[in-house]
A and B are shown apart, each in its own frame.
Chain A
Amino acid sequence: MKTVYLDNNATTQVAPEVLDAMLPFFTELWGNPSSMHRFGGQVAKHIAGAREKVAALIGADPSEIVFTSCGTESDNTAIRGSVEINGFKRIITSRVEHPAVLAPCRYLKDLGSDFVEIDVDSSGRINMDSLQKALSDGPAFVTMMWANNETGVMFPIKEITEMAKSAGGVMHTDAVQAVGKIPVDVMETPVDTLTLSGHKIHAPKGIGALYIRKGTKVRPFMLGGHQENSRRAGTENVPYIIGLGKACELAAEHLKDMKRVARLRDKLEKGLLSSCPSTSVNGDQVNRVPNTTNISFQFIEGEAILYHLSDLGIAASSGSACTSGSLEPSHVIRAMGVPFTSAHGSIRFSLSRYTTEEEIDYVINKMPGIVRKLRDLSPFT
């Protein structure tokens, strides 16, 4: 059975070009870039090339890019490394952040920092008044996601950055779900640190990067060698760094494809809303990354929908309790105040540049049957 993969916010397929770029670094160019011989040393220039490509995608200088093992490591480094070295006593974030941000923030809270979680409205938009108020209490470390992984809703990061910095704070953004989907430019949006992840943009899992603006102090998370200009110790994961470089180059080239992706996403959304009664979209449909839609199917439960979709070869995800690994629906959906009647049946479809119209038509065609089958079973219909 063919897989219709609409779970690209979870992970993406490795682009064939990325794999091709990586392979020589397993077979021929396997030296250590720190070595004082040409066999190893020649690898360093390839890493430099990859660093340039990552930097180019987000408008940074290559010296501002630190390779890490994943987005979670980048977030941990930025948050803990910045709060600790700059001595911030206040941390401000949103209620809908990824656990990779919330967990280190709560860790610092336990160590004595003030921790403010700004609420969002029913469309997932940040409450700018609450943020302004929180910032008026003095300089703070602010961390806000650029785009939400569950709903795709984008925060006005440029405006938030300006507010945070004019209050004397430091601004971090988890841009894992934004990079490669929309133009991200750190000159235009002057964040201090920014997280990006390889496996969300068609590089493999196990590679990420942290942008650190020149002059921003961040204490290294990994201690040991001098690698990454002493900002991240450990022998470089060369093939994966090369892969991330290639993926960033491709992402820049394919940014224009996102218009087509948005059109397919809109077609899917409209198709499902019109063919399945009692459905609604979660999140602001105006300020949203082009590949994501989060739809609630009332009276039925997300895990059951996913298993039926999976039987038909369709991969998606849900914010329902049963799939969130807890007993309550996702914290994002709850923060938005989505009623329980809808929250448990929320399904996220996330597309990529590889998604085809045929695949979207297939889902639009199959979904009503699944919804009907489960609603026939439900005591609430």
Chain B
Amino acid sequence: MWDYTDKVLDHFRNPRNVGTIKDADGTGEVGSMACGDALKLTFKLDKNRRIADVKFQTFGCASAIASSSALTEIIKGMTIDEAVGVTNQDIADYLGGLPEQKMHCSVMGREALETAIENYRTGKDTKKILDGKVVCTCFGVTEEEIKRVVNDNNLKSVEEVTNYCKAGGGCGHCKPDIERIITEIQNAKTDEEPASPRKMTILEKIRLIEETIKREIRPVLKKDGGDIELIDVQGNRVLISFRGMCAKCNVAPFTMKDVVEAKLHEFVSKDIVVEESEK
């Protein structure tokens, strides 16, 4: 038997927040029957845009059920910005820890949450879309996802990566690729670490903002026929202007907060405040 904590067993035996919310604000579905576990997460926001209600359905083992149940308890009452910051480690910690080989259950929770938030922000794709190059074809795990678990959890071996996201757990042909990804990330880390964080120059900041808009923000808006233009950068104040459908959209203020600002926080700086330009 697995060495599950009492909290894991409690959430397995008495799962909280089971079911689906009709007319949910966000829905995220990850995993599949073939993968051996799957999770559907739905949430509804209150008028203050906090997660008022959240429900889950899970196909999987005891720790998959417990991780899903824990996730719902963790994010209830959070704002979207707060929920974005929930990591798989938060889920494992909430349960008093998970066996190493079961960490992928906590990662599945985090992925479902991200997918549901993305669905809320863009109104599209309740299912997780495989973005980028698939490394593990047995379990459909992309290079991005592997990088993510390696970075988030400071993983150092292929075996750990398999425990966290299943990649490499099937035929094993992708193990050299996983090894390469780990080496790249760990090498980059050792390169970075000695240098103390340097303040970005305003020019670097503008470039990074432009790149982030191009890579992360514009594609999301374009799906709805919208667009965005960078007007000015004054310290941490970023002035933008919506174009196309976004200009007329009455949920634009939400898009501003939950897409534009969130992405710039993630990729540029936490201190950035985005405002819509009058021009």
Contact = CB atoms under 8 A, between A and B. Distances in A.
Interface of A: 299-304, 307-308, 310-311, 320-322, 326-329, 340-341, 344, 376-380
A378 B61 CA distance: 11
Interface stretch (B34-42, B204-212, B257-265): B34-42
Interface in B138-169: 138-139, 162, 166, 169
Interface residue range, chain B:
20 to 34
B61 A377 contact: no
A196 B167 CA distance: 38
B6 to A, nearest CB: 13
A297 B162 CA distance: 27
B170 A301 contact: no
B58 interface: yes
B62 interface: yes
A112 B39 CA distance: 45
Given A307-B12, A327-B36, A327-B139, A322 B58 contact: no
Contacts of B98: none
B33 interface: yes
A348 B58 CA distance: 23
Given A327-B36, A327-B139, A320 B61 contact: yes
B61 A379 contact: no
B57 interface: yes
A303 B33 contact: no
A377 B65 contact: yes
B235 to A, nearest CB: 47
16 contacts: A299-B33, A301-B36, A301-B37, A302-B61, A304-B12, A304-B62, A304-B64, A307-B12, A320-B61, A327-B36, A327-B170, A328-B138, A340-B34, A341-B33, A379-B40, A380-B59
B85 to A, nearest CB: 26
B13 interface: yes
B97 interface: no
Nearest to B57: A379
Given A326-B169, A327-B170, A340 B60 contact: no
A290 to B, nearest CB: 28
Contact of A378 (B1, B59, B166): B59
Contact of B13 (A302, A311, A326, A341): A311
Contacts of B139: 327
Given A340-B36, A379-B58, A380-B59, 17 more contacts: A300-B59, A301-B59, A301-B60, A304-B65, A307-B9, A307-B12, A307-B62, A311-B13, A320-B61, A322-B60, A327-B162, A376-B18, A378-B59, A379-B38, A379-B39, A379-B59, A380-B38
Nearest to B4: A307
B37 to A, nearest CB: 7
A344 B60 CA distance: 9
B77 interface: no
B62 A377 contact: no
A366 to B, nearest CB: 15
A322 B67 CA distance: 15
Contact of A344 (B9, B33, B170): B33
A322 B65 CA distance: 13
Contacts of B58: 377-379
Contact of B61 (A322, A328, A340): A322
Chain B interface main SS type: mixed
B15 interface: yes
B29 interface: yes
Top 10 nearest A-B pairs (CB, nearest first) are A327-B169, A303-B61, A322-B61, A379-B57, A379-B40, A340-B34, A321-B36, A378-B59, A307-B62, A341-B33
A344 B65 contact: no
Contact of A377 (B18, B33, B169): B18
B18 A344 contact: no
B69 to A, nearest CB: 9
Interface string B50-62: 0000000111111
Contacts of B59: 299-301, 377-380
A329 B36 CA distance: 8
Interface in B1-19: 1, 9, 12-13, 15, 18
B4 to A, nearest CB: 9
Residue of B13, B18, B36, B57 ringed by the most chain A CB atoms within 10 A: B36
A349 B170 CA distance: 27
A310 B4 CA distance: 14
Contacts of A321: 36
A376 to B, nearest CB: 7
Contacts of A308: 13
Residue of B59, B162, B166 ringed by the most chain A CB atoms within 10 A: B59
A377 B59 CA distance: 7
Contacts of A300: 59
Given A326-B169, A327-B162, A341-B33, A301 B57 contact: no
Contacts of A378: 57-59
Contacts of B166: 327
A303 B62 contact: yes
